[in-house]
Amino acid sequence: MGKIMMTATERRKEAAGRVRAAEDAVARLRAGLAGVGVKLPSLRIDLVSCAGSGPVPLVDLGRCTIDTALRLSAELEEKKREAAAAHDS
């Protein structure tokens, strides 16, 4: 079967949808991290990945302090322990 060509408007709508999905992912990640007391000050969408005719937005986790990295690691380790304990139950 032949490939159906998208119109420019359809491509723009699809691209906008991808950017909105990335914005939502950033907002959800920011809220989830805040819920455990972790703030990544540089958390954002990578703007360069949104450029072009077919953007594939990337989430830039950015930079953080050593204390923040250790806090995030501790939270992830705790979640892993909780998941293992739940699995063993």
Instruction: Give residue-wise pLDDT tens across range 9-22.
Output: 888 888 889 999 99
Share of the chain above pLDDT 70, in %: 97
- Cα gap 73→62, rounded to integer Å: 15
Per-residue pLDDT at 54 exceeds 90 = no
How far apart are alpha carbons 89 and 78 in whole angstroms? 17
User: What confidence score (pLDDT) does residue 26 get?
Assistant: 95
Amino acid at 60: D
CA 33 to chain centre: 12
Helices (H), 1-89: 8-35, 66-88
Nearest to 26 by CA among 42, 44, 41: 44
Question: What would the pLDDT profile of 57-71 be if each residue is shown by its tens digit?
Answer: 999 999 999 999 999
